[in-house]
Amino acid sequence: MPKIILFRGRAGTGKSTLSNELAKRLNVPVLHKDDIYDSVAGFVPEHGSRNKICFEFLYRFLENVINSNAIIILDYGLNNNEDVKKLERWITERGGELKTIHCVCGDETTWSKRLAKRSINPLPNQIITNLSELKEHYKDLGPEFFEGELILDTVIPKDINVEKIQSFVFEV
């Protein structure tokens, strides 16, 4: 069965770090939303249009993943549960399986440092590089955990978290 492993969470919570490490261990590719977003940034000036392109590409790409009976790792923030439910329904209807990993950073000092590091040379999709601004941006959203997803605190060592992810993704 095709398997889509989704890493989601707010900026600076460690999604890319963990998804890249899992990809190395499983020898499967990662699709990072930021790579698509940053690639079109020079051609499409408006943020909403860039995001729309990212999601249009995602669904077309996932169609191929599912048809190929493959495994793919996605690093796509998806902070809204309705978006996750929509994606899960879409994948399930086509015969795939979605496993979601929600990354959080339980230490605000660490989280703040991660965001501040981005402010040195931010990429187009790294528009918020301050924890206070990030909290303000998401103030109406809440934590929004999705039923059945693995919630990981990324202050826990990477190797321990990746072991937890592998057990979660391949549980019987």
pLDDT in tens, 28-68: 999 999 899 888 988 998 988 988 999 999 999 999 999 99
Report the range of poorest mean pLDDT among 13-17, 94-98, 141-145, 158-162: 141-145
Structural domains counted in the chain = 1
Range 11-21 average pLDDT = 92
pLDDT on residue 34: 87
Residue 97's CATH number = 3.40.50.300
pLDDT of residue 72: 97
Instruction: Return the pLDDT at 115.
Output: 81
Q: Higher pLDDT residue, 82 or 118?
A: 82
| Integer CA distances (angstroms), 116 to 59, 133, 134, 143, in order | 32, 12, 12, 22
pLDDT band at 141 (very low <50, low <70, confident <90, very high): low
Task: Tell me the two tokens of residue 110.
Answer: 């660490």
Which is nearest to 83 in space by CA: 55, 43, 111? 55
Write down the H helix ranges in 27-130.
Answer: 33-40, 47-67, 81-93, 108-118
Looking at the DSSP bridge assignments, the partners of residue 5 are 73, 99
Domain that holds residue 19: 3-169
